[in-house]
Amino acid sequence: MSAERSLELAALQQELAQAGYIADPPLAAALLLMQDLGRPLLLEGDAGVGKTEVAKVLAATRRTRLIRLQCYEGLDAHAAMYEWNYQRQLLAIKLLEHDERASTKDLAQKEQDIFSERYLLKRPLLEAISCDEAPVLLIDEVDRADEAFEAYLLELLSDFQLSIPELGTVHATSRPWVVITSNGTRELSDALRRRCLYQYIDYPDHAKELAIVRLKVPGVAAELAQQIVAFVQAVRRMELQKKPGIAETLDWTAALLRLGISVIDVDGADRILQTLSTLIKTRDDGAAFPREVVARLAATC
Amino acid sequence: MLNAATLDSRAAERLVGFPGFLRANGFGVGGGDAVPVLQAARRVGLLDPQVLRWSLQALLCGRGDEWRRFDELFDAWFLPANRWQAPERRDAGGGTLGGTCPRGPAGHHAADDEGEDAVHPRDTASPHETLSSADFSTLTEREHTLEVEALMRRFARQLRHLRLRREARARRGARLDLPATIRRSVASGGTPFHLAWKDRRRVRPRLVLLIDVSRSMALYSFFYLRLARALGAELNDVHSFIFHTRITAVSQALHDPDPWRAQERLHLMAQGWAGGTRIGESLAQFNRRHAPRLVHSRTAVLILSDGYDTGEPQALSDALAQLRRRARRVVWLNPLCARPGYAPICQGMQAALPHIDLLAPAGDLASLQAVLPELIAALH
C-alpha cells in the first residue's frame, strides 16, 4: 500500500511539473490527501511564493474549470454566492402587467416563476457547487474578507450546500476541489482551520528555485540561471521590507535576457542596477541597493 | 479500500494517541481528529514514514507555528527513543520570536495527568530570574481588575463608533442605495416601497500595543499588560507585543483562558528582562517581522513606554518614521508624562516626537481615564 502511495506521489509531482509547477513532496502529499478525504486545502505563506498557482495548476492537471473568488474587504453574499437578476424580474413583472390575455392561473404560475432559477445570477460559490463536473474553487486571500463571510464559507465547506431564502436549499451536484489562500493579515477562525488541510509554503530553496527558473524560462542558459537564483537568494537573506517572490525572480530573468546579459559579474553591476526594479519594490529597499552592494552580491554569485 | 483490521492494532493505538500528544503541546486539535488520522493512515499506509509524516502534517496543523514544530513532535511520538536525536532547541536561545511556548515536546504523560507538569526543569527555573524585574502575579489579581475591565469596556465601546470613509448598507442614512432599493422593489412589483440607504460604515481600527517592559518600566508594565488583557477580551482585533531589547508577541499568552498558565507563559517569555531598553531596535524588529502582516491603513499603533532608550536615537527615529508611514496613527502613552514639570527632553522622546500623532500620560487608571477622549479623537 505504502509503496503504491509513494509512486502515486511521484507521479503527481511529475504531472504538476509538466503543467509548470514544481511541488515539494509535502504539498503533493497534501493534494493526494485532499482527494482522499474531500477536504479543502488552506495555503498560507508570504506573498509571491506561489499559493494561487497551486489552484491553477490543479485545475490544469485535473482538466477541469477553475472558479476564482477574489476576497476583499466588504465582500458580501451578493458578490460571493448569488444575486437575483432584478432587472429581468422587473421587466417580467411589467410585461405581465400589460399582458391582458393572461388568466389568473397563468398569473400564479408567473408569480412563482419570478423567483426561479431563471432569474438567479450565480456568483462563484453557487457556481462551484452547481457544475456537473467538479471544478477547482479558488478562494483567494480569504483573510481580506471579514468574519461574516467566513461564516457563509463554513456552511458551504461543511455541507456543500447553500440556502437561498426564496428558492430553498441548493445541494452540490459535485464536490468542488477547494483551495483557500491566506497571507495572514488577519487571524482566521479555528473553525475554518479545522475543516481544512493545511500547508505552509515558504520561499523556495536554491535547488527548487533553480528548477522553477529552468522550467518557466526555457531559454535561459544553465550558468546564468544558477547565478540569477544565487543572487535572488542572497537578496532574500537581506533585511528588506518586501522580499522578492518567485514571480519577481522570473520577471528579473526575463529582464536580463531582454537586455542581453549573459553573465552576472562585477563589471555588469550598472546594467544589473537598471533591471533591479523588477526585484525591489519599495523606496526604502531601493536605498539598500547602491552600486557597491550590487557589485558585491554579483561577485559572490 | 482496506478496512481497519489491516492496520496493526498497536500502530492504530499509536496513531490514535497522536492528536492527544499534539494537543498537549499546544496544537488546536480535538479528540475527533483521531478518525481522520486513521482514515489518512489507511490510505497512505505505514511503511513509508515520510509520506505519513507529510500527510499528517497537512491534516493536523492549522497555522504556521504548528507547521514548523510538527517534525520534531512527529519524531518524538513515532520514532523509537534511540532513533530520535533531540533536535537542537532553536527557541531556547531566545533568537526566535514565535516562541510562545519555549519548551521541548511535553511528554505524552502530560496529556494524561496534569497537563503542564512535564515542563523541563531548565524552563521552570526561569521565573526566579525574572521575578526581580517584573511581577506578573498581579496580572490577574482581583483588586483593580474590575476597574481596569470597566474602563477598557468603555474604551472599546467608544472605539466601535469610529467611522471611516467606506460606505455600506444601513437602516437609515444620508444617501439612497439605488441597486438595493430596486432589488427590494421586486417584491412589490416594481414600486419602491422600502428604500435602502447607504451610510458610512463603522470600521474599528485595528489596535497594536507595543509595551515596554524594561527595568525602568517595572512599575507600570504589569498594569499595561492588564490593560492589554482586558482590551483583548473586549475587542477581537487587538495585537499585543512586549519589548525591551527585542520584541515578542504576547497576545496568545495573554488571552490564555487559564490565568495561571497565562502567567507562566509570560514568565517564560520574559527571560532576561532586566537588560536595558533598545526601543529603536525593537521597533525596527517589529517593522521587519510583524508590520507587513499586521499594520495596514486602519491600524492604530499604541506605544507604551517611558522613552528611556539606551540605543541610538537615530535608530528610533528611523524605525518610527517607517512605522508611521504604514500605520494610520501612532500614539505614545508615557507614564511619566503626568508628573509635574515633566518635559519630553530625554533623547528617546526627542527622537520620537516628530513622528507621533499624540503623546499622552498614562501613569495610572485615573490619568488614562482623563486622556481617553483625546485618545479616541486621535484614532479618528
Q: What ipTM goes with this model?
A: 0.79
Our CA-based measurement puts residue A200 at a distance from the nearest CA of chain B, in whole angstroms, of 6
3-state secondary structure of A179: strand
Per-residue pLDDT, A141:
92
Q: DSSP state, A142?
A: G
CA distance B246 to B283: 8
Residue B370 reports pLDDT greater than 80: no
Topology adopted by domain A2-73+133-200? Rossmann fold (3.40.50)
Q: Which of B29, B58, B287 sits opposite A33 (nearest CB)?
A: B58
What domains sit in chain B, N to C, each tagged with a CATH number? 4-124 (no CATH), 145-158+203-379 (3.40.50.410), 167-200 (no CATH)
Q: Which of B55, B63, B190 sits opposite A29 (nearest CB)?
A: B55
Q: Which of B45, B54, B62 sits opposite A194 (nearest CB)?
A: B62
Pair A65, A134: CB distance under 8 Å? no
Pair A165, A207: CB distance under 8 Å? no
Q: Angle at Cα B239 formed by Cα B216 and Cα B224, nearest 5°? A: 30
Pair B44, A12: CB distance under 8 Å? no
Residue A11 reports pLDDT greater than 90: yes
Contact B186 A93 (CB under 8 A): yes
Per-residue pLDDT, B32:
80
Pair A184, B64: CB distance under 8 Å? yes
Phi, psi of B208 (to 5 degrees): -120, 120
Amino acid identity for residue A54 in this structure: V
Residues of chain B contacting residue A37, judged by C-beta atoms under 8 Å apart:
36, 39-40, 59
Give the lowest-confidence range in A46-50, A62-66, A287-291, B158-162. Answer: B158-162
The whole-chain average pLDDT of chain B stands at 73
Of B111, B120, B126, nearest to B27 by C-alpha is B111
Q: Cell numbers at residue B6, please?
A: 489491516
Per-residue pLDDT, B334:
86
Instruction: Report the DSSP pairing between strands A120-122 and A197-200.
Output: unpaired
CA distance B132 to B273: 9
CA distance B234 to B232: 5
Our CA-based measurement puts residue B266 at a distance from the nearest CA of chain A, in whole angstroms, of 21
Query: Which pLDDT band, with edges at 50, 70 and 90, does B117 fall under?
Result: very low
B55-73 pLDDT tens trace: 999 999 988 888 888 998 8
Contact B62 A193 (CB under 8 A): yes
Residues 6+ apart with CB under 8 A from A231: A264, A297, A298, A301
Best B3, B8, B37, B44 member to test A by mutation, with max A CBs in 10 Å, is: B44
Contact B287 A37 (CB under 8 A): no
Residue A263 reports pLDDT greater than 80: yes
More confident residue, B129 or A213: A213
Chain B interface residues facing chain A, Cβ-Cβ under 8 Å?
A: 2, 28-30, 36, 39-40, 43-48, 50-52, 54-55, 57-59, 61-64, 66-68, 166, 168, 182-183, 185-186, 189-190, 201, 237, 287-288, 292-294, 296, 322
**Where in chain A are the domains?**
2-73+133-200, 83-117, 206-300
Place of cell 488546536: B28
Q: Cell numbers at residue B223, please?
A: 498594569
The whole-chain average pLDDT of chain A stands at 88
Q: Among all residues of chain B, which has the CA nearest to that of A73?
A: B166
Instruction: Report the DSSP pairing between strands B197-200 and B167-170.
Output: antiparallel
Query: Which pLDDT band, with edges at 50, 70 and 90, does B131 fall under?
Result: very low
Q: How far is CA A250 from the centre of its chain?
A: 18
CA distance B105 to B346: 45
Q: How far is CA B318 from the centre of its chain?
A: 25
Place of cell 537588560: B275
Amino acid identity for residue A58 in this structure: L
Q: Among all residues of chain B, which has the CA nearest to that of A44?
A: B64
Our CA-based measurement puts residue A286 at a distance from the nearest CA of chain B, in whole angstroms, of 14
- What are the Cα distances from residue B304, in Å, to A1, A111, B353? 59, 63, 14
Residue A136 reports pLDDT greater than 70: yes
Q: DSSP state, B296?
A: -
Q: Cell numbers at residue B135, please?
A: 511581577
Residues 6+ apart with CB under 8 A from A239: B288
Residues 6+ apart with CB under 8 A from B330: B300, B301, B303, B320, B323, B324, B355, B356, B357
Give the lowest-confidence range in A233-242, B111-120, B215-224, B232-241. Answer: B111-120
Our CA-based measurement puts residue A4 at a distance from the nearest CA of chain B, in whole angstroms, of 9
Our CA-based measurement puts residue B365 at a distance from the nearest CA of chain A, in whole angstroms, of 30
Contact B40 A26 (CB under 8 A): no
Best B23, B42, B59 member to test A by mutation, with max A CBs in 10 Å, is: B59
Best A115, A200, A238, A284 member to test B by mutation, with max B CBs in 10 Å, is: A200
Residues 6+ apart with CB under 8 A from A106: none
Residues in a beta bridge with B243: B212, B247
Of A74, A83, A196, nearest to A145 by C-alpha is A74
Radius of gyration of chain A, Cα coordinates, nearest whole angstrom: 25
